[in-house]
Structure 1
Amino acid sequence: MTKPKSPSKPASKKRPPRVFGREKATALFAALAQDRPDPKTELDFVNPYTLVVAVALSAQATDVGVNKATAKLFAVADTPEKMLQLGEEGVAEHIKTIGLWRNKAKNVIALSKMLIETFGGKVPETREELVQLPGVGRKTANVVLNEAFGQPTIAVDTHIFRVSNRTGLAPGRNPDEVEAGLERATPPEFKKGAHHWLILHGRYVCKARKPECWHCAIIDLCRFKPKTPDPASVSALGPKSN
């Protein structure tokens, strides 16, 4: 009797092939660097402490919205000691326009207290110490290390995650995979600015719903297809005939 064949297993989804070698990655970052020679965070801050607070507040909020709220907050509380004097309710009054403001106010007070009690009022310069602070995760820690202390860290937010996958620079299923891929793919000379170049490119060019490929500095290197045409060129062609 012929033994029935066992049902075949469904084909597993393969991860996107890595398409960026060192030479191509160097060309990509060189093009982004030429497009934005002096990249930096768009969050307003006056010292490492206010940067920690600003980045923590920026979760599920826009930089513009955070800056509006922190302009008055940092004018009266730019150190952990001053923030504690302001108190949770005082912080909340300043950040009510930001999403999740109640929980964020609690975290700002809690992290300020911990900075004083555990770190002598100073912002630590290691990721391991920073992530101990309430409301500070790996992404926030990487931003602070890069912007405040000049360390070549890469914080993967929604923009960087999208650009890394779309272009093929560092495909990944989650932020940790993308961060690891970027660490491998980014040439050393570009690691300090990589975070800013990628996030700004994602924010202003490689947008989520409709990437503006027609003025993309890396269009010839990006694997995304089909490329989005320039609306002006499409309009010039006139309406399609039936």
Structure 2
Amino acid sequence: MLLKKLKIIFFIVIFIVLFIGTIKSAAAVSPFIKNRSVFYENSLSIINKLKLYKLSLNKLYKDLKKKKNESNKLNHKIKHLKIRLEKLKKKIKNSGYIITQLLRDIFIINKEKKADIINLSDKNSNYFITNYILKNLLNNEEYKLKKLINRNKKFANIKKEIVIERKRLKKGIDGLSQSKLKLKKMIADSQNYMSTVKEIKTKKSAVNNKKSRFLRNKVIKLINKIKNKIKIKIKIKNKIKNKNKNKNHGDVKFIVVK
């Protein structure tokens, strides 16, 4: 549950970072865009790309979760089958002990002749009864042997199932590794996209700074020209005034009153 929450937070953070970066880059370029509709179309295309990235990441996360659940189920099945195998092995072992014990009860080993024969040497014994008992014992043993054969068949089928389940588990692990590689590729693509956006932003800011410096120098030159022109005009006006003053001084008349 905690891993799921962390993954969701990680995807949200990536989405917010990409969205803020694209908006800032678009805002930095927007004053120099002549056609506003192009800017809005570009921003909408970026937002659509981000949505597609988010959807693909969610899909990959769901695939990973599904593969993980499948692998857990397969592991549980394999554990259950191993337990069943152990139980069958114990049953087969116990059945083997029972068979050997019954064979010892039915047959008597004659050590002198070194051969397995049925002990019917007792003259007082009833052959019909012994034959009936032996037949019953043999039928029971045959039934038990059939059971053991069926158990062996089940054991072989379980082995086949284990092999199939292992193959499925291997496929699931391979699919999980491929999904992880896809997720890493998506993260790398998003990081590359962010780096390209940053590069474009820095380039455009450098161009804008260059243009602003050029315009500032141009404005300063124009201001200096205007100032120089104003100074020249003031000097000309002052010269004209001085000339007029000198002329007025030359035309002064002195009137003598008697």
* TM-score computed with the length of structure 1 as normaliser: 0.23
Higher relative contact order (Cα pairs below 8 Å, separated by 6+ residues)? 2
